[in-house]
Structure 1
Amino acid sequence: MKMTIHTLQSKKGVEKITAVTAYDALFASLFDAQTDVILVGDSLNMSFGGKEDTLSITLEEMIYHTKSVCIGAKKSFIIADMPFGSYQNSKMAVKNALKFYQKTSADAIKLEGGKERSESVRAIVKEGVAVIGHIGLMPQFARSEGGYKIKGRSEKEASKLIDDALAIEDAGASMIVLEGIASEVSNHITQKLKIPTIGIGSGKKCDGQILVWSDMMGFFQRFKPKFVRRYLDGATLIQEALQKYVQDVKSENFPSLEESY
């Protein structure tokens, strides 16, 4: 059965929501129905594009990858990231959110920002597009903020995060991602909101958790954030398998008679 926003919202306080990223049909099909949510994250710009941040990925690229994920996943709830520069004002935000809905089968779009984005969220929701919020450490702001910085460590920051979360909820967002937020603050936000919170580097009290798949599977090795738990040593397994293939080709062990026409 297809996961819906109503089913996800009904899990709040009852059952943890699980989410992971995917960027293509192959891996989306492997993750489908195993996790409640699949996010087509602009993180692919770093994980697979080799870039230093998420900022240079385009709307067209995000739509392409979202289409691919939608082909591979039929049961998980699919969220697509609005890329940097695609929602600078409400009019632009609505136009590009509608483009996502028209060109893909995504169930919702996600945009970064707090109270300052509330009018855009409200305008998009009014047009019939489900919106997921994202506050705290926001990768699209990392360059302007001088790096990836944990939020909520001061009373002023904590108060702003709570206000931001409430503003995004009031604007009509269906869920909200809390990234890189001090655990005590993310816990407080989760308790205050009626909508589910999905954490990444924000402690265990969020209503759900998300990880970038190449981080959790050990494929991305340039660095490992503190909040990542690796469930597979994927890079080593791939390299060992590739070495075996190369050896088999050079020794003429591959292809065998059974593998030849």
Structure 2
Amino acid sequence: MGSKITVESIMGMKGKKKIVAVTAYDYTTARICDRAGVDIILVGDSAAMVMLGYKSTTPISMEEMLVFCKAVSRAREHAMVVADMPFMSYQISMEDALYNACRFIKEGNADAVKVEGGREFKHVVEAIVDAGIPVMGHIGLKPQTAPLWHGYKVQGKVVDDASRLIEDAVAIEEAGAFSIVLEQVTYEVAEMISSRLSIPTIGIGSGSSCDGQVLVLHDMLGLYEYSPRFVKRYADLSSIIAEALTRYRDDVLNARFPGEEHTFHMDAKEYERLKATSIAMDAMRSERKNQEQKGGGERGEESINK
């Protein structure tokens, strides 16, 4: 599979090799992703929805994100781990932004952080990069705030919107980001941004002209009840898991599980000794109980006589 993927590796793929990225939030899944040969495992704030059951990505906290990040980082050997900066972890102050980015590196053992936003967060990206932490940008649809404004709409459908997206992309590159996610951006705008920037673009619902692609694992594997139009489902694990659980339930109810092949046994001689010991212990308990009952009766008679 080769050596560990680094920032330099990702930047070197621009125009040469497509970048493969996927989300993961736990050790077991991240291990599978790493062994499958993905380049980037994104510990996405999408965990808010697919792991914690929130209606959007907005509510998830730094502490929750760090738990997921630590688990993923323990699993990877090859892939680069990028951690999503959750809502309010960098919007309040520069001190918060730097502190939280550093926590992902120091505590979460991530390789980089992802910052959602365009020109308005150029100074945040610059500060984090100046602190020595690689940053992946994220423009287009911004899930952290989309529900507060116009919803989950395709970006770049008209000239003014497209121009703004291009300016955002240029600003994030100038800030020092090593790559940038384009979410739900029209093909034409994504192609223009990808050709204009020297850093890789990673698309999610933004067409094939991007330098790489990222998908939410639960969407592509059919584990989440809703998936966007741009997602290709590579499996329907929900149905497979439900079928397996139904079979397990039926086996337990009908005493088919556990079978002999799942059962451990004592040595025959040890079992005979255990039975003899058990008989002796039962006899001792019975004798003790009889004595206690007899003693209780005698005390009762003495009380009545008094």
Q: TM-score over 0.5 for the alignment?
A: yes
Q: State the one-letter code of the partner of 1:48.
A: M
**For residues 28 and 172 of structure 2, what CA distance do their matches in structure 1 show?**
33
1:1-12 matches, cutoff 5 A: 1-12=3-14
Q: State the one-letter code of the partner of 1:22.
A: A
**For residues 181 and 130 of structure 1, what CA distance do their matches in structure 2 show?**
24
User: Are 1:256 and 2:264 counterparts?
Assistant: no
1:1-261 matches, cutoff 5 A: 1-33=3-35, 34-88=37-91, 89-221=93-225, 223-261=226-264
Give the deviation of 1:7 after TM superposition: 0.9
Give the deviation of 1:90 after TM superposition: 2.4
Give the deviation of 1:50 after TM superposition: 1.3
Give the deviation of 1:101 after TM superposition: 1.2
Q: 3-state DSSP class of the match of 2:231? A: coil
Query: TM-score if structure 2 supplies the norm length?
Result: 0.84
Q: State the one-letter code of the partner of 2:27.
A: A
Q: 3-state DSSP class of the match of 2:42? A: strand
**For residues 122 and 96 of structure 2, what CA distance do their matches in structure 1 show?**
14
Q: State the one-letter code of the partner of 2:55.
A: E
**For residues 19 and 234 of structure 2, what CA distance do their matches in structure 1 show?**
18
Give the deviation of 1:20 after TM superposition: 0.4
Q: State the one-letter code of the partner of 2:238.
A: A
> What is the percentage of aligned positions where both structures have the same residue?
47
The root-mean-square deviation of aligned C-alpha atoms, in Å, is 0.8
Give the deviation of 1:100 after TM superposition: 1.3
**For residues 150 and 116 of structure 1, what CA distance do their matches in structure 2 show?**
20
Which piece of structure 1 moves more, 249-258 or 195-204?
249-258
**For residues 106 and 80 of structure 2, what CA distance do their matches in structure 1 show?**
17
Q: State the one-letter code of the partner of 2:244.
A: A
Give the deviation of 1:68 after TM superposition: 0.4
Higher relative contact order (CA 8 A, sep 6+): 1
**For residues 74 and 138 of structure 1, what CA distance do their matches in structure 2 show?**
30
**For residues 158 and 96 of structure 1, what CA distance do their matches in structure 2 show?**
31
Q: Deviations over 1:198-245 (max 9, x none)?
A: 000000000000000010001112x22110000001000000011111
Q: State the one-letter code of the partner of 1:92.
A: D
Q: Deviations over 1:86-122 (max 9, x none)?
A: 1013232111111211112101000100011000100
Which piece of structure 1 moves more, 128-137 or 243-252?
243-252
Give the deviation of 1:146 after TM superposition: 3.3
Between structures 1 and 2, the one with greater helix share: 2
Q: Deviations over 1:134-171 (max 9, x none)?
A: 00000011122131111101100100000000000000
What is the aligned length? 260
**For residues 27 and 227 of structure 2, what CA distance do their matches in structure 1 show?**
25
Where does structure 1 lack aligned partners over 5 or more consecutive residues?
A: none
